[in-house]
Amino acid sequence: METIMSRSREVLSDFLLYVLVPFIVSTVGFVFLFWFRDPTQLERAWPFAFVGSGVIGIFAFFGFVARNLRIRLWPWHEL
């Protein structure tokens, strides 16, 4: 059985691609949308962007774990 440490570079690159990239892109996107709506209220609105990105990041992490453990769960059963 192949251990996770034997393919650590693949796991790290998958983590960056499937978890961190969606989190960072969604954070920047939400902040931009809040800023575009009202630039003067950005300091009050950015926590909502971070929370929304956190939700996206949690689902991305579940997809990452399911993909790496080869678990076939719905919505990730096609990965």
- Cis check for the bond before 75: say yes or no (omega within 30 of 0): yes
**pTM of the predicted model over 0.75:** no
3-class SS of residue 75: coil
Distance in angstroms (rounded) separating the CA atoms of residues 17 and 13: 6
The encoded tokens of residue 61 equal 């992490």
User: How many whole angstroms separate alpha carbon 4 and alpha carbon 41?
Assistant: 45
Q: What is the pLDDT along the chain (79 residues), one digit of tens a residue?
A: 455 566 677 778 878 888 888 888 888 888 888 888 888 877 787 788 778 888 888 888 887 777 777 655 555 555 5
51 dihedral zone (left: phi>0; alpha: psi -120 to 50; beta): alpha
